[in-house]
Structure 1
């Protein structure tokens, strides 16, 4: 996006054609409203950036198919020059012509035509450089098919367009629809504009269409259209006095036959611009993140370093990108419809006056049809930035230029005011609507992302605070480690050749998050199809499962204009959190995942686990859509954004904690209901407080030993990431993947049948060593409090006989012999939870034994009596002995 600088924000509005309510498409679904079609096509316009084009910023859809467009705007236009009623100098005419052609050529390269050139839409900035406005109207309306008004101004349209006549239809057939205009259409319009500048007034303004048609036919019979126009309007002497190159330019633009008329690209290289073309340098598109070109190649210091210094009172906001300014304008209370209503562009009418007809009881109807004269108003309303600037007046200039190397640069520690420092403690939904806070976060993230991947660690750090919604798409890509030339890779994938999965994709897309206007648009469906197909084709060892479309939705929404980035993020996300979930036979992966989830429920909430198991409400009945789609099938997009902001900071085990947190929000209802009621409850999941869910998930994650969520079907070894810590000690929490190097002290994989038979999770010996901070042979530090080290309190319960315990044990562990608790047949003799362990409910309890069967039985009993955070040492004391870290009590003298 271009900086705001001397530009303003402008808003204009029009109506899309309404569709009949009783007509369905070929798939049996209601027709997509034309306003949503336009909204989808509009999105690509936001990516078209050129010095000669007014940047499109946003589109808003209102009632009755109303659309409001926000774009870069300037008050001055060519119309102001024509109002002076005197000819413009030939030098100015050539300048305008060349700059207009620059903009038209750039549009043509993107497959677009202006078709609405007029003095109103050729704006001039403070340097009197041309800025073409409303250049995307023809594209976004599908060449005018989705609106009930013509695109373009009859006085400036070429003969071939006028000859086609007017045509309006919501669904024109191929035979009836006029052919879309090509680049040469704008060249004629430019010729008329230049002719008016030369003569100093507008022509052909008040001519009836039939008269206009006759006049055009007359022009077609003439060899010199310029002379005919000059004689018709009494300015032949003015035209004859023009320099030869200007007259030649007019003749080439106003060529009657399109086949002989040049394109904008042809004219730019024509000799008529020989005198001024050297003054213009070719436009180079900026290098964006994740591109093949090195970004550093375009970082050059000015010759005069003093240009970097800014005077006091400098308008720093004007240097921000125009989409940032608009985002902040909305946060500061900006209301598009209110602005248009204040300028009387939007006029409210009494409801009875908006009815097209009155229908009596006998079926008789009377009245007139809907007044459609108000559907197009060419006025552009300038949006006032006064309220935004007033809101940001107390923000220090340093906020716009944060020191990235300063350890105290993050907002919670260093901000321009105490109020901003306090904002970080407020709920996320409030922070996202705070103008000053979002400005600070946007500026900081913008600078960090420009330095990606060099500043990747600091992006992780700041993302733990929050992620500004405006930059969420790029921030997620950085958190997922996306790098390289993603566009070339995406382009190399065959997304067109039919494959067997096409049919299922076609069925799923119209049902995926279709409440969202962007994803429900035809353009959204096309992009959905391309990204999903690219993933299927590029992963031949995996298959398309229902739910993949839901996984794609957040990435596509955030990167709607960058399919390659959506694909890259999706391709990085699935291996990390859903490794092998999309195998053709994924039953063993899913079953292992659900079994570990069941153990997590028992670990954190044994009472709830016991109740769900008693009524037979197992995770297989409700949790598969949760994890297969990472909750995107369960929650709307706005909740998924907040959930995944934290999910992407965690590892592959974090979804277990999210699942447990969701169950705990429904805990009271689940405990009070039986199987049938629980099924009904999850068929229409109640409202979930996502911020509370995230907060509780992090707490659960911090209480979970890293090896407790071990899965043999998780992603293979990779280096751990800083993302595992949530601000705590990275060495403790579950690594992003399994252990980098498997040792004799690691967890051993279990058969699925054995894993399902165990209620409590196992932890590895190396995890126990880390938790208890063993530091050398026969030395065991006293377990420290979690508040000081970031680790939970832990209690080792040794259930071997007293004799074995005395020969060697972990320092600080307690001995509860298995034989004193259970009989030979496994019957309970004495409940340890009511006596020996009653005071240890706030600790993670690890059961140690030389016989795994005894440890599992002991742990199962503790869970049965609602004892939380119980786990078993994998391999038992036999593995622990090999470490040489057991201690023997000193003999008493």
Structure 2
């Protein structure tokens, strides 16, 4: 991405051809508007960065098929500075376009701009590509005076049937060589414009008449009275003109041929070949092309330096929009967009006597070639108080989580709601600069990316940040390229059916280019995972990654491939019923753990998670929420482990809690058929709170992937226990959760937790392994209570320190209430905190926990393995004999 430097942002507008409203495609769906097709094709132009091309920044779709293109712009053009040697730079830009299978077709002096150093920048180089060779607009691409003879001979061909894929014959790259020849000719004869005295039909006739001319340059010189000027030109210039102005395209040289031609032997030493820098997720060394200047002091920037000009054009435009920039308003102020009263837009006015008055053709649908420079004054004024050091933050380990600014307003912004922070210009500048530096240091600074992502993620860099959080590394492009995405496979039909229904409200994903990218990424995933199959919902799962990495399919595929094993391990097996059923059962236990009243009500009316939660978890909520909500939700989801989606599901239910408790089965079905508006920021905050209250082993699933490290919601990677490392293997084999059958799991209302978790939560030491533990013995934390349901005799023989004894047989009255006793009072005092039931038999502990859930005790769980597994630790205590 090139920096702003001395460039400006320019905008120009045009209309796409309107399609009939009553026509559908072969699939029975309405035709995709031409403006959306153009919007999809435009995206690739953002990736074409070259010193000789004006970088494309953005495209905006307005009313009535209006499109506004924003690109790098300069006030000077070739019309202002006529230097023949600039032909070489123009050829460099054209040759780079040709490598990307693009043709300029609209080459003219005013589209060859000059930067502050006088170097060429080609403007509007993607117009021919994004309009599908001119098929999607009502105006021709190119200027009659500069079009090549073969282009003129072809004429303008418009598709007659919008439902068919008719396309005009494409112009070849050699047509730009002819246009360049005409421009060079005009440069040589300063002040003369070819064919200016003729109208368009006569221009075209004259150009086509050159077919029988041997020396076109001489004939044009005679025709325009400038033959004497041509005779005084250097020989190499005349040779270049004759080669460019070769009538037959088969004999005309290509841009590549001309760049190595001897006519430029005196020009080529000035230029070094352009090499695109290595991408972020690439095996190539990213710092290979970094060169320090001989004088290090040149890197020093004083307080008066234009720091904003050092940022990329994409960043500057993004900040310009945040600072109040409005493309249509800018174009209206320059008279490019004009509004008309509705009566003036009627094609004809018919009077009573039948006389009609009509207006001429509406020329607003034709191309207005004016480019409007977008003023950055408002943005610069907004950022005037941002100190210079904010553009170059330090990446130390003790780095603060707040934006790097000394102003109190910036510090306070970090505490505002996320939606406000994302629209604050100064705050986003700080976050973008910081994340840009951190991502450039990936994977070395991955831990700091995690740390900063806990605060928020700047939308402009969300795609790359997600990839870093998912641990994407290596030669992802090579792997994607080697995957067969073309050979037909059995799932092709289902993919074709699903894509036109997936987030089609979004203009980018609904474009034909978006559909094609969807298809390739999904097929790449299916082909590269032969043990898994395509299930409906995979397209929704792909949508966020494709949207954020629209021009980098390999990265979208890599992110998706890293996301699924972490959160949806084995969900896409051919027979995934056992995985789904286990997942939903654990989710039911999480509802009972966090909200027993809601759990009791849903179970009473038979509204089980199977009826509503499968699309939630199979698509990680992408099927039920629009993309802008998914972005905020996944910003936090990616910081948690595989159990975090359970907390999101519970948080959604809690937002609907009042309506769910008041409704029966049928009303709940209707409620979830059209899910009400969910406050995502509140959902995220509640999910984090639920996650922090949930013991790690409570969400254990035997069909889940077993990670080497468990990441908590704070982004800290840690082993599965906080105990001594040497103690890990002992815990893993003896004190962890044991697998149970699905029927056993379904029979239990409350989740189980492992002995390992209990030791961790109680902060107890292991007497049998004193050398492995450095902690001092502690009693149970006030936030946790262990309820031992064995007989009092067994309890007195040995129990967990700090636990209370409530024998199962006498704990409840015949009505199901707690029997009055001191232990019951203690239990009531701990209501709202974690309660662990312990017994000899798991069934008794599960029944006791179920009774507590019926009494609306939250956070009730069962000790897996009971007291017998606890004996292995040597942590049981015996009450001192009373004297």
Question: Scaled by the length of structure 1, what TM-score is found?
Answer: 0.94
The answer to whether the Cα contact below 8 Å between 1:38 and 1:141 also exists between their aligned partners in 2 is yes
Q: 1:648 aligns with which of 627, 634, 638?
A: 638
Q: Deviations over 1:593-621 (max 9, x none)?
A: 00000000000000000000000000000
Cα distance in structure 2, aligned partners of 1:709 and 1:218:
81
2:837, 2:862 within 8 Å by CA — same for their partners in 1? yes
Among 282, 286, 289, the residue aligned to 2:280:
289
Whole-Å separation in 1 of the counterparts to 2:391 and 2:160: 48
Q: Counterpart in 2 of 1:165?
A: 155
Distance in 2 separating the partners of 1:219 and 1:521: 42
Q: Report matched runs for 1:500-579 at 5 Å.
A: 500-579=490-569
- The secondary structure found in structure 2 opposite 1:339 is helix
The 8 Å contact of residues 402 and 409 in structure 1, kept in 2 or not, is answered as no
User: Which residue does the alignment assign to 1:432?
Assistant: 422
**2:236 is the alignment partner of 1:239:** no
What is the match of residue 102 of structure 1? 92
Correspondence for 1:85: none
Q: Does residue 1:153 correspond to 2:153, yes or no?
A: no
Classify the secondary structure of the residue corresponding to 2:302. coil
SS at match of 1:518: coil
1:398 to 389, 404, 409: 389
Partner-residue secondary structure (3-state), 1:856: helix
- Whole-angstrom distance in 2 between the partners of 1:467 and 1:447: 14
SS of the aligned residue for 2:373 comes to strand
The structural deviation recorded for 1:174 is: 9.0
Once the two structures are TM-superposed, the CA of residue 410 in structure 1 deviates from its matched residue by: 3.1
In 2, Cα distance between equivalents of 1:486 and 1:360: 68
Aligned residues: 869
Match of 1:766 in 2: 756
Deviation at 1:813, TM superposition (A): 1.1
Q: Secondary structure at the match of 1:376?
A: coil
**2:341 aligned residue (328, 340, 350):** 350
Pairing 1:210–2:207 present = no
- Contact 1:725/1:733 (8 A) holds in 2: no
The 1:365–1:498 alpha-carbon spacing in structure 2 relative to 1, beyond 3 Å, is: farther
Matched, 1:687 2:677: yes
Q: CA deviation at 1:720?
A: 1.1
Which segments of 5 or more consecutive residues in structure 1 lack a partner in the other structure? Answer: 82-87, 786-792
Q: What SS is found at the alignment partner of 2:861? A: strand
Q: State the alpha-carbon separation in 2 of the partners of residues 194 and 817 from structure 1.
A: 99
Q: CA deviation at 1:220?
A: 1.4
Single out whichever of 333-342 and 303-312 deviates more from structure 2: 303-312
CA distance in 2, matches of 1:223, 1:178: 30
Q: Does 1:748 align with 2:773?
A: no
Q: How does 1:700-779 map to 2 (within 5 A)?
A: 700-716=690-706, 718-725=707-714, 742-777=732-767
Tell me what 2:771 maps to.
none
Are the aligned partners of 1:724 and 1:733 in contact in 2 as well (CA < 8 Å)?
no
| CA distances 1:830-876 after superposition (whole Å, capped 9, x unpaired) | 37896441111131000011121211111000000111000000000
Partner residue, 1:782: 779
What is the rounded CA distance, in whole Å, between the counterparts of 1:361 and 1:683 in structure 2? Answer: 55
Q: Is the 8 A contact 2:188 2:230 kept in 1?
A: yes
Question: What are the superposed Cα offsets for residues 254-302 of structure 1, whole Å, 9 maximum, x if unpaired?
Answer: 0011110001111001010011111111000011111131112122212
Equivalent in the alignment of 1:596: 586
Other-structure match for 1:304: 295
Shift in alpha-carbon separation, 1:603–1:358, aligned structure 2, 3 A: farther
Q: Using the alignment, how far apart are the partners of 1:637 and 1:390 within structure 2?
A: 33
- In the superposition, relative to structure 1, how do residues 847 and 226 fare at CA in structure 2: closer, same or farther (>3 Å)? same
Once residues 456 and 168 of structure 1 are traced to their aligned partners in structure 2, the CA distance between those partners, rounded to angstroms, is 52
Aligned-pair CA distance for 1:355: 3.0
* Contact 1:772–1:780 (8 Å) recurs in 2: no
* Counterparts in 2 of 1:676 and 1:518: CA distance versus 1, 3 Å: same
Return the alpha-carbon distance in structure 1 between the equivalents of residues 882 and 537 of structure 2: 66
2:319 aligned with 1:322:
no
Deviations 1:105-146 (A, max 9, x none): 000000001000111100011111000000000000011000
Secondary structure, counterpart of 1:67 in structure 2: strand
1:84 is aligned to none
- The DSSP-based 3-state class of the residue aligned with 2:371 is strand
RMSD: 2.2
Specify the SS of the correspondent of 1:394. coil
Q: 2:854 aligns with which of 861, 864, 884?
A: 864
**Matching of residue 384 in structure 1 with residue 344 in structure 2:** no
Moved more, 607-616 or 840-849: 840-849
From the superposition, tell whether residues 136 and 750 of structure 1 become closer, same or farther in structure 2 (CA, over 3 Å).
Answer: same
> What is the deviation of 1:96?
1.1
Residue 58 of structure 2: SS of its match in structure 1? strand
Name the CA distance, whole Å, in 1 between partners of 2:529 and 2:250: 48
Per-residue deviation, residues 525-570 of structure 1 (Å, max 9, x unmatched): 0000000000000000000000000000000000000000000000
* TM-fit CA distance, 1:369: 6.8
Structure 2 CA distance for aligned equivalents of residues 431 and 683 of structure 1:
33
Q: Which moved more, 1:34-43 or 1:213-222?
A: 213-222
Q: Distance in 2 between the 1:325 and 1:175 partners?
A: 38
- 1:447 maps onto 2:437 in alignment: yes
Quote the residue 1:789 is aligned against. none
**TM-score, scaled to structure 2:** 0.95
2:688 counterpart residue number: 698
Matches within 5 A, 1:44-443: 44-81=44-81, 88=82, 92-93=83-84, 95-169=85-159, 171=161, 178-201=168-191, 202-357=193-348, 367-368=358-359, 371-411=362-402, 415-443=405-433
- In 2 relative to 1, CA 745–174 (structure 1 residues): closer, same or farther, beyond 3 Å? closer
CA distance in 1 between counterparts of 2:664 and 2:271 reads 76
Aligned counterpart for 1:846 among listed residues 836, 840, 857:
836
How far residue 408 of structure 1 moved from its aligned partner, in angstroms, is: 3.0
Give the structure 2 partner of residue 626 of structure 1: 616
Distance 1:817 1:177, change over 3 A: closer
- Would you say the 8 A contact 2:13–2:69 is kept in 1? yes
**Is the contact between residue 354 and residue 370 of structure 1 (CA under 8 Å) also seen in structure 2?**
no
1:875-890 counterparts in 2 under 5 A?
875-890=865-880
Q: Which segment is superposed worse, 475-484 or 364-373?
A: 364-373
- Mapping of 1:26-41 within 5 angstroms? 26-41=26-41
Q: 2: CA distance between counterparts of 1:392 and 1:407?
A: 26
Change (3 A) 1:580 1:396: same
SS in 2 for 1:3: coil
Take 1:157 and 1:142, find their aligned partners in 2: how far apart are those partners? 18
Give the SS at the match of 2:60. Answer: strand
SS of structure 1 residue aligned to 2:497: helix
Q: Describe the shift of the 1:364–1:555 C-alpha distance in structure 2 as closer, same or farther (beyond 3 A).
A: farther
Question: Residues 363 and 433 from structure 1, CA distance in 2 versus in 1: closer, same or farther, beyond 3 angstroms?
Answer: farther
CA contact (8 A) 1:457 1:722 kept: no
Closer, same or farther: CA 257–696 of 1 in aligned 2, 3 Å? same
Partner SS for 1:297: coil
CA distance 1:374–1:499, shift in 2 (3 Å): closer
